[in-house]
Amino acid sequence: MNLSELDLLFWAMSFIGHVALLLVLLLRGRFRNLPIFTALVTLNVVRTIALFLIRWHNAQSAYFYTFWSLAVLDVGLQFAIVYELSSKVFRPLGQWAPDIRKKSVIWIVASIVFTSLLTLIPKPSSHFWMQELILKGSFFSAALMSELFVGMIAISAAAGLSWSSHVARVAKGFTVYSIATLILETANTWLGLGGSGHTYDDLSRIRIAIYLCCVAYWIVALWRNAPPTAKMPDHVRQQASTINQMVKIRVEALRQAGEP
């Protein structure tokens, strides 16, 4: 299978970018605070090598199954990253604030329902049911990821929570990439896989270019030292302190109840 010069360039840039990002995470110790993000970067390094070798040997069937299997794993890790980043933002002292937990659950449920309904609307232009399933699945994933990241930023901003610099920058990169992916997947869903797949390939290349920009942003942002953490708002600090006091009282009561 022949690869265009642009495809080869993207493959090389993706490999170099992910290796550089992985080295930054390891050498600067960021992997301790972002283990799931580090796992995603590692997966992308392995995937780039595996898919390049499979495609170079023109193994079309193996390429298809490997590509979509790793794509499913990639999406799963991205959803896990939403939780990882949220836990860093919404648990500044190790405890979830009850009102924030409730808002987060409501937002997640509403996002899933809205995205599911939105996915049913378009009828992709495709020749096989498998193609339609892939297009709709990609659209659903992109739409849900966009809503989750935007919701996380909106809820944290409304609550006045301070952000760790590295966590915030990883989240910002994913937000930009998710919104861009949503726009491109919307176009893919409406246009389908017609024209021998050229439109799909062109839009995929645009998505890859945007993602590579995010990778470059993460490399620079995670290499730099984080600025001093902003002071936690008074109402958040009081709320976290109240939770800690309640936990201590409950533990003390249980301890006394267990004494003869």
Across the range 143-158, mean pLDDT stands at 82
% of the chain at pLDDT higher than 70: 72
pLDDT class for 249, splitting at 50, 70, 90?
A: low
What span, in angstroms and rounded, lies between the C-alpha atoms of 65 and 58? 13
Ranked by mean pLDDT, which of 63-67, 213-217, 255-259 comes out on top?
213-217
Q: What is the pTM of this model?
A: 0.77
Between 231 and 215, residue with greater pLDDT: 215
Q: What is the pLDDT of residues 179-210, one digit of tens each?
A: 898 888 878 777 655 555 577 788 889 999 99
Q: Which residue has the higher pLDDT, 92 or 55?
A: 55
Task: Write the secondary structure of the chain as one string of H (helix), E (strand) and C (coil).
Answer: CCCCHHHHHHHHHHHHHHHHHHHHHHHCCHHHCCHHHHHHHHHHHHHHHHHHHHHHCCCHHHHHHHHHHHHHHHHHHHHHHHHHHHHHHHCCCCCCCHHHHHHHHHHHHHHHHHHHHHHHCCCCCCCCHHHHHHHHHHHHHHHHHHHHHHHHHHHHHHHCCCCCHHHHHHHHHHHHHHHHHHHHHHHHHHHCCCHHHHHHHHHHHHHHHHHHHHHHHHHHHHHCCCCCCCCCCHHHHHHHHHHHHHHHHHHHHHHHHHCC
Check whether 82 has a pLDDT greater than 60.
yes
pLDDT at 127 over 60: no
Nearest to 170 by CA among 73, 88, 47, 72: 88
pLDDT of residue 118: 79
Q: Spell 1-30 as b/e; 16+ CB within 10 A means b.
A: eeeeeeeeebbebbbebbebbbebbeeeeb
